[in-house]
A and B are shown apart, each in its own frame.
Chain A
Amino acid sequence: MAHNSIILHRIFLLQRLPKHICYGLKTRLLSYRNPQCRFFSTKPQAQCQPKKKWCGVVGLEIHAQILSKSKMFSGSATSYGAPTNTQVALFDAALPGTLPVLNQRCVEAAVMTALALKCQINKISTFDRKHYFYSDLPAGFQITQYHKPLAVDGKLEYIISSASKKQQAINKMARITQIQLEVDSGKSLHDHKDHQSLIDLNRAGVGLMEIVTEPDFVNGDEAAAFLRELQLILVTLGTCDGKMSEGSFRVDANISVHHPGEPYGVRTEVKNINSIRHVSKAINFEIKRQTEELEAGKEIQNETRSFDIDTGETVLMRDKEGFQDYRFMPEPNLPPIYVYDDQSLPETDSKVVNMDAIQCQIPELPNQKRLRLQQDYELSLDKINMLLFEHGMIVVFEDILAIVSHDPLVKPQNIANFLMNDFLSVLKSKNLSIDNSGIPTSALADICTLTDKDEISKGTAKNVLIELFNRPSQSVRNIVESNKWYQINDIDRLKDLCEEAFSQYPEAVMKFKKGRKRAINPLIVHVLNATDGCANPQKVKDILLKMLS
């Protein structure tokens, strides 16, 4: 009896262990008790219960710096890259006796963000102090929202772009747990040689929105797609500039793995990842690492890791003295934040935050824009996303559309292609961004108009653009005229050139007639070269095909 009970006890315990460990051991125990069962106990397992796959569980915490002229609780400026310690109000240095004064802009920006993320706004939210000692945290605590954050229960729909043209883009949704206001810390520069730390408090007190998601991602690609969409929304709203390189959009990822349907595993946190690409890599690496650890029978430690860009791996961060009790307490110097709506708006005070008024100020969000562009211009989703995710491109695109709107010949699809192919490649080759390209949108519109009216070829369009970059003051038509870049659409002239090509490339003609369709290309290239790229390629092709048939 005693023996039996021990065995049963073991089985009971084992059933609570992860399945892949259970099965093997359970089998052995059963076979030990009843050797006849051996055959039955192993085979059904292999057939009906294949070894389950580990699945990643990822939640994100995003610290988005609020785009505001002054800090959240003081009047000092927030510009990036100012000389060290030149943007430090008395409060930012936590001089004794100073008090926080809430910047209304920060609340409004966070409310707008929360509304865009379909959050429920808490009509009353409060600030708390989170305590820890660090040299770039002058007060010894961070003002944050712990007990009652500004907004909760939101969601964000995002798209995972298709990896290839055959696949469809996938729509996904992630839940937003909460959005809270808090302040940034200063920066420490550690000089290990001289054993000193230098503190820059310019960033101390800059307003942050901490956006916390539910663990709704299974891998780095989903997280990255979500982050791109979130970044796009924030930039569209103007509540954050989204610049990861300047630290105004920072991501921490909480990662664990489990078998679907079972409780989540122990998670690790990867902090301070400085690009979305790296977030994706870090998450995927971490899922792989955890899976391998667990497969090897090891346990996952609840720990903080960082991402090493060079190796593409996550590494354990120096342990900050183990467990931290932040000793949260309500911030006594700040009254609660009240957010009103049109119904509850007090009559006397006009300086309150009204969520209904803010709702009206929300510009067209990316998802709405996608729908509109799809419907109005029949653009593909992928094309729209390319425009959207290239910072500033969608604005240029829509500005061009507005200029050429009266002209039915100019096709949005072609504008998009021109921008994403020619414009972008020239920008990149010249190491310029859209904001500082120096090219007027009207000139881009002119190029698109000339192209779609067959006045210049698509190849010429790019040359015009390059010329334009060299001398932005020139008009597009001037460039085309002075270079004699008008497209040759004259059939007779093209025919002559085609015949010339025929006689020069007899082998290509033979090959084509034998069925090699691609053999026509050298013939087209010949005509184009002969005309300095000005021949209308479509017409050349048509003539050649006619002659070949």
Chain B
Amino acid sequence: MLSLSLKEVLTRIKNGQLSSCEVFEKCVHRAKKLRDLNFFITETFDNGTEKTSHKMKSQKDGKSNLLPGIPFAVKDNFCTRNIRTTCASNMLKNYIPPYNATVVQRLLDQGAQIIGKTNMDEFAMGSTSIDSVFGPVRNPWKYNFLQTSYPVPSECQKTKVHQTVGSTDDSCSSQKSYSRNFSTAVSNISERLSNCTKNDNGQHQECSLNSDWFISGGSSGGSAVAVAAGTCYGALGSDTGGSTRNPASYCGVVGLKSTYGRLSRYGLIPLTNSLDVPGIFAKTVDDAAIIFNTLAGHDIQDSTTVTDPFHPVILPDAPEVKGLTIGIPQNCDSLTTKEVIDLRLKVADMFANAGAKVVPVSLPHASYSVSCYIILCCSEVASNMACYDGIEFGHRAKDTVSTEQLFATTRHDGFNDVVRERILAGNYFLLKSNYDQYVLKAMQVRRLIRDDYMKVFSSGIDLLLTPTTSGDAPLYQMLTTEENYWRTGEQDLYTVPINLAGIPAITVPTALSKNGLPIGLQLIGQDFKEQEMLSAAKWLEQEMNFPYLDLSFLDDINT
């Protein structure tokens, strides 16, 4: 059941094949098995089931909920009424908001249930999900579940991944349902498990696999993992410079960043207001569209949402890309792995073969994106973080020598190094003597970057195709050296300019790397043309037949 897509589950609930309660309980069951991955900061397993049945009653009373009782995970930087919202920080460790973010409320209005608040980088600053006061999030792909929780025989080490980049060639079938993909995609882990269950000599031994694991990406790593691991049918993340698309790519799920102004930011604890967009994690493009339709539209509470009426996205069963013009930006950084570059070439060829026109495009200012982003992000961070003074809410230091000292100690205790560094840098950029040189320039460069995209689109390009990340997920140990840690910033290269331009983008899991890890590719659309972008993304999804992660073997194990 947890292998089903949201669309499939909704159909079965409608048909009476499944009950909402059952779905929620299964998800909770799965989530409990996966606590090792540390993707929930706050679990809301208890109130879920009871409310589900309540919601079901109200549905019988005639209310039609689009998402009856469906479990959703919500990144812990969206305010949830009476559920603590921590931003993975000491500052908000015990903060319980009195209101729901608009996007959360819209999910609840359709009957959805929050199953948990997901782990992330503190205040969404990072692209690893390891900078959380609640500990790092772990990627379920290639994760050795057996090491810590389950006793298994040693043969399990030898198992190999079957699906790799090359293997996708022969599985391009446009009409395959998501769940059939599931059944064909066999995770190495399930194989291990079958070996494990066959072994009944009772001689269990501790698995000696390397204790390392792959990171989930970030900053919305917890939400990506929650969806990838099948503990919910969709999740909210936030995307400021790629914080939704990056972990979606690393965890093999769909990650949608819509046009700035399409989804309300009310209740999303801000990182960079002018770049932040609520992100959507889903198992499939269809699911992403369903969730997007639920969330989108003007919100009176957020003046930056567009007031134009929203026309829901409707995706054809068999979308076509014939006649589309796909632009391929030429700039790639040296860090991008060959397999990612090859994958993009391959996919570009597939578009061409399906009747799309594929043309190279130039985005001359894209290379300034990360510098531009750093200045804008830090400046707004410095400003946004000024409200954390310990007076009205959140952590308050016991230091009462003076108000100034109270502020200083509170903020020192409440923020990690990354946050403090950005505040410091941002305040530096905003100084009267530096403003013109840094902030104003960055805003001008931002305009140039957006203009690049506008020029490309006005020249007849419908969509752009780029990698989402420059490689697959790195190992946690790789990031423990300082040099590598800072290199994670460069993973934003393909995602950051999209936020600067405000345009929509989606990452679609496309293939597995030679390490057996997911690689996503990014489709970039035009302002408010999510329909076209999602349509092409669905085509790509159907073509690639990505082997989704199946952790169903875990459900039957007694712990």
Can you list 21 A-B contacts with CB-CB less than 8 angstroms, sorted by A residue number? A95-B393, A96-B270, A96-B394, A97-B79, A99-B301, A100-B303, A101-B300, A101-B301, A101-B303, A129-B383, A131-B383, A131-B430, A133-B389, A135-B389, A138-B391, A325-B432, A326-B432, A327-B431, A327-B435, A332-B304, A335-B303
Contact A141 B383 (CB under 8 A): yes
Report A96-111 residues with CB < 8 Å from chain B CB: 96-102
A133-B269 contact given A99-B303, A327-B431, CB 8 Å threshold: no
Contact B387 A96 (CB under 8 A): yes
Contact B303 A325 (CB under 8 A): no
Q: Give bound CA distance, A325 to B434, whole Å.
A: 11
Q: Give bound CA distance, A205 to B226, whole Å.
A: 39
Chain A residues in 8 Å Cβ range of B431: 325, 327
Of all chain B residues, the one with the shortest Cβ separation from A139 is B387
Q: Give bound CA distance, A96 to B84, whole Å.
A: 12
At the interface, yes or no: B400 with Cβ under 8 Å from chain A? yes
Chain B residues in 8 Å Cβ range of A94: 387, 392
At the interface, yes or no: B65 with Cβ under 8 Å from chain A? no
Chain A residues in 8 Å Cβ range of B62: none
Contact A90 B98 (CB under 8 A): yes
A-B pairs under 8 A by CB, number: 108
Write the B405-429 contact mask toward A (1 if CB under 8 angstroms, else 0): 0010000000000000000000100
Chain B residues in 8 Å Cβ range of A133: 386, 389, 404, 407
Report B358-384 residues with CB < 8 Å from chain A CB: 379-380, 382-383
Contact A95 B98 (CB under 8 A): yes
Chain B residues in 8 Å Cβ range of A380: none
Chain B residues in 8 Å Cβ range of A93: 392-393
At the interface, yes or no: A329 with Cβ under 8 Å from chain B? yes
At the interface, yes or no: B548 with Cβ under 8 Å from chain A? no
Selected from B92, B385, B403, the residue in CB contact (under 8 A) with A135 is: B403
Q: Give bound CA distance, A90 to B100, whole Å.
A: 12
Nearest-Cβ distance from residue A91 to partner chain B, whole angstroms: 9
At the interface, yes or no: B101 with Cβ under 8 Å from chain A? yes
At the interface, yes or no: B274 with Cβ under 8 Å from chain A? yes
Selected from B268, B300, B386, the residue in CB contact (under 8 A) with A141 is: B386
Of all chain A residues, the one with the shortest Cβ separation from B100 is A97
Max chain A CB contacts within 10 Å: which of B95, B387, B394? B387
At the interface, yes or no: A543 with Cβ under 8 Å from chain B? no
At the interface, yes or no: A502 with Cβ under 8 Å from chain B? no
At the interface, yes or no: B126 with Cβ under 8 Å from chain A? no
Q: Give bound CA distance, A333 to B273, whole Å.
A: 7
Q: Give bound CA distance, A100 to B273, whole Å.
A: 12
Contact A332 B301 (CB under 8 A): no
Max chain B CB contacts within 10 Å: which of A90, A102, A197, A334? A90
Write the A64-75 contact mask toward B (1 if CB under 8 angstroms, else 0): 000000000000
Chain A residues in 8 Å Cβ range of B471: none
Report B411-463 residues with CB < 8 Å from chain A CB: 427, 430-432, 435, 439
Q: Give bound CA distance, A65 to B363, whole Å.
A: 49
Chain B residues in 8 Å Cβ range of A100: 303
At the interface, yes or no: B247 with Cβ under 8 Å from chain A? no
At the interface, yes or no: A260 with Cβ under 8 Å from chain B? no
Of all chain B residues, the one with the shortest Cβ separation from A326 is B432
At the interface, yes or no: A195 with Cβ under 8 Å from chain B? yes
Nearest-Cβ distance from residue A185 to partner chain B, whole angstroms: 12
Chain A residues in 8 Å Cβ range of B439: 329
Q: Give bound CA distance, A93 to B140, whole Å.
A: 40
Contact B304 A333 (CB under 8 A): yes
Q: Give bound CA distance, A496 to B78, whole Å.
A: 96
Write the B465-507 contact mask toward A (1 if CB under 8 angstroms, else 0): 0000000000000000000000000000000000000000000
Write the A308-336 contact mask toward B (1 if CB under 8 angstroms, else 0): 00000000000000000111110011110
Selected from A327, A329, A333, the residue in CB contact (under 8 A) with B303 is: A333
At the interface, yes or no: B97 with Cβ under 8 Å from chain A? yes
At the interface, yes or no: B24 with Cβ under 8 Å from chain A? no
Q: Give bound CA distance, A528 to B386, whole Å.
A: 75
Contact A332 B97 (CB under 8 A): no
At the interface, yes or no: A199 with Cβ under 8 Å from chain B? yes
Nearest-Cβ distance from residue B383 to partner chain A, whole angstroms: 6
At the interface, yes or no: A506 with Cβ under 8 Å from chain B? no
Main secondary structure of the interface of A (DSSP, over half): loop
At the interface, yes or no: A363 with Cβ under 8 Å from chain B? no
Chain B residues in 8 Å Cβ range of A335: 303-304
Of all chain B residues, the one with the shortest Cβ separation from A96 is B269
Write the A104-148 contact mask toward B (1 if CB under 8 angstroms, else 0): 000000000000000000000000010101010011110000000
Q: Give bound CA distance, A317 to B403, whole Å.
A: 18
What's the interface size class on B, roughly? 35 or more
Selected from B78, B266, B383, the residue in CB contact (under 8 A) with A99 is: B266
Of all chain B residues, the one with the shortest Cβ separation from A100 is B303
Nearest-Cβ distance from residue B14 to partner chain A, whole angstroms: 34
Nearest-Cβ distance from residue A477 to partner chain B, whole angstroms: 58
Nearest-Cβ distance from residue A205 to partner chain B, whole angstroms: 13
Contact B386 A140 (CB under 8 A): yes
Q: Give bound CA distance, A333 to B87, whole Å.
A: 20
Of all chain A residues, the one with the shortest Cβ separation from B382 is A327
Nearest-Cβ distance from residue A181 to partner chain B, whole angstroms: 14
- Extra contacts besides A96-B269, A97-B270, A131-B382 (10): CB < 8 Å: A93-B393, A94-B387, A97-B267, A133-B389, A327-B432, A329-B379, A332-B272, A333-B273, A333-B303, A334-B304
Nearest-Cβ distance from residue B513 to partner chain A, whole angstroms: 37
At the interface, yes or no: B302 with Cβ under 8 Å from chain A? yes
Chain A residues in 8 Å Cβ range of B310: none
Chain B residues in 8 Å Cβ range of A98: 99, 266-267
Write the B68-99 contact mask toward A (1 if CB under 8 angstroms, else 0): 00000000001100000101000010010111
Contact B383 A329 (CB under 8 A): yes
A95-B392 contact given A101-B303, A327-B432, CB 8 Å threshold: yes
Max chain A CB contacts within 10 Å: which of B92, B265, B379, B392? B392
Q: Give bound CA distance, A135 to B274, whole Å.
A: 27
Of all chain A residues, the one with the shortest Cβ separation from B379 is A329
A328-B435 contact given A99-B301, A99-B303, CB 8 Å threshold: yes
Contact B391 A135 (CB under 8 A): yes
Selected from A96, A327, A332, A333, the residue in CB contact (under 8 A) with B430 is: A327
Q: Give bound CA distance, A98 to B98, whole Å.
A: 11
Write the B259-279 contact mask toward A (1 if CB under 8 angstroms, else 0): 000000111111011100000
Q: Give bound CA distance, A189 to B96, whole Å.
A: 27
Nearest-Cβ distance from residue B450 to partner chain A, whole angstroms: 15
Of all chain A residues, the one with the shortest Cβ separation from B92 is A96
Nearest-Cβ distance from residue A197 to partner chain B, whole angstroms: 7
Contact A97 B266 (CB under 8 A): yes
A97-B273 contact given A133-B404, A327-B382, A327-B431, CB 8 Å threshold: no
The 3 closest A-B pairs by CB, nearest first: A140-B386, A327-B430, A332-B273
Q: Give bound CA distance, A199 to B393, whole Å.
A: 13
Contact A90 B383 (CB under 8 A): no
Of all chain B residues, the one with the shortest Cβ separation from A102 is B303
Contact A140 B265 (CB under 8 A): no
Of all chain A residues, the one with the shortest Cβ separation from B273 is A332
Chain A residues in 8 Å Cβ range of B266: 97-99
Write the B316-355 contact mask toward A (1 if CB under 8 angstroms, else 0): 0000000000000000000000000000000000000000
Q: Give bound CA distance, A335 to B301, whole Å.
A: 13
Nearest-Cβ distance from residue B94 to partner chain A, whole angstroms: 13
Contact A140 B387 (CB under 8 A): yes
Nearest-Cβ distance from residue A70 to partner chain B, whole angstroms: 14
Of all chain B residues, the one with the shortest Cβ separation from A195 is B400
Chain A residues in 8 Å Cβ range of B85: 96
Chain A residues in 8 Å Cβ range of B269: 96-97
Max chain A CB contacts within 10 Å: which of B87, B95, B99, B301? B301
Nearest-Cβ distance from residue A335 to partner chain B, whole angstroms: 6
Q: Give bound CA distance, A95 to B96, whole Å.
A: 11
Q: Give bound CA distance, A326 to B432, whole Å.
A: 8
A329-B430 contact given A100-B303, A197-B403, CB 8 Å threshold: yes
Nearest-Cβ distance from residue A189 to partner chain B, whole angstroms: 13
